[in-house]
Amino acid sequence: MNKPRIVFAGTPEFALVSLTALVDAGHDVVAVYTQPDRPAGRGRKLTASAVKRYAVDQSIAVLQPETLRDAATAEELEALKPDVMIVAAYGLILPQNILDIPKQGCLNVHASLLPRWRGAAPIQAAILAGDQTTGISLMRMTAGLDCGPVFAADSIVIEKRESAEQLHDRLAVLGGALLVARLDEILCGETAAVEQDESLASYAAKILKQDAELDWELSAADLHRRVRAYNPAPGAFFFAGPSNNPLRVKVWDATPVDVAAATAGTIVQYDGDGIVMACGEGGLRLDTLQAPGKRRAEAHEFVKQIDLRR
């Protein structure tokens, strides 16, 4: 029996782990779709995606259309004669005519336990909501947003201090492993896809920079989840100092603590033992911070550099 012809679509590191797993397992990846090179870094130099760099190294054909909605792109995909298209964090919408081209449809590696957290930011959403578990779903793609039937899923526990970056890395590995473990039985029809329960669906919207500003009126527990969810991007932050020249400070790590009653937003401790902010409920110890133009610093180092109480 011939190996199924796989077209892979993905862009960032999360997708790369699944692509690497497929190649390492001996699957026939005939082409890779990834987003066009984008400006990155301080020099804003055009940079290839993680998936593209790997595909080029592996001598896999790379396609980078700006959109999948034009006729030429559909013809290009048809010419590849794919048996299945596997999608992981691609970043472009697949219209119905594209979904219809692979003989056995399109399979999505999604970083949540569907139907919970459909959408662009499921990892951050799970942390923000205080979910105790999350996982990976292998879903047959349909025209709707992450609402197709699910072939397989696997779950992991979210650690209490885990950042989005750390959870992302663990889920990427889980996704690659689940994909390789279940792909053959999915393509052979041995595993039936189960429709999602629409009544349990929730949506994880794209994260905006302004979402990451810390509101001290919230509880310390809530703010701690925000610090974790927005690490590494866009990075939780707050403004301190005089109103006419406020300093934008990023918070990379924090710990909820008990404090005496104080007005939310008040600095109740600022010394070598840490920086503690009063919150709507409890206090938040800021463990790792970053001032504009500076490197990240532990609190005991940060207080020597800058006095936020002025």
Asked whether residue 90 is domain-assigned, the answer is yes
- One domain for residues 166 and 232: no
How far is the C-alpha of 145 from the C-alpha of 176, rounded, in Å? 22
Are the CB atoms for 171 and 14 separated by under 8 Å?
Answer: yes
- pTM (predicted TM-score): 0.95
What is the domain range of residue 31?
Answer: 5-204
User: What are 116-129's pLDDT values in tens digits?
Assistant: 999 999 999 999 99
Residue 244 is predicted with a pLDDT of 79
Among 145, 177, 204, residue at a domain's last position: 204
Going by C-alpha positions, the residue among 102, 63, 9 that lies closest to residue 18 is 9
The residue among 166, 185, 204 that closes a domain is: 204
Element (H, E) at 48: none
Residues 151 and 176 both lie in one domain = yes
Same domain for 53 and 142, yes or no, is yes
What is the model's pLDDT at position 1?
55
User: What pLDDT score does 181 carry?
Assistant: 98
Portion of the chain with pLDDT greater than 90, in percent:
89
Count of helices and strands (H, E) across the chain: 8, 17
Q: Which pLDDT value is given to residue 273?
A: 87
As for how many domains the chain has, the answer is 2
pLDDT tens column, 100-116: 999 999 999 999 999 99
CA distance 68 to 61: 17
pLDDT tens digits for range 228-258: 999 999 999 999 987 778 899 999 999 999 9
- Of 175, 204, 233, the last residue of a domain is 204
Give dist(CA 15, CA 19) in Å, integer: 6
**Per-run averaged pLDDT (10 residues), the chain, 310 residues:** 91 97 98 92 85 97 95 96 97 95 97 97 98 98 95 98 98 98 95 96 96 98 98 96 86 96 94 93 97 94 87
Residue 126 domain-assigned? yes
Classified as helix, coil or strand, 249 is strand
Residue 168 covered by a domain: yes
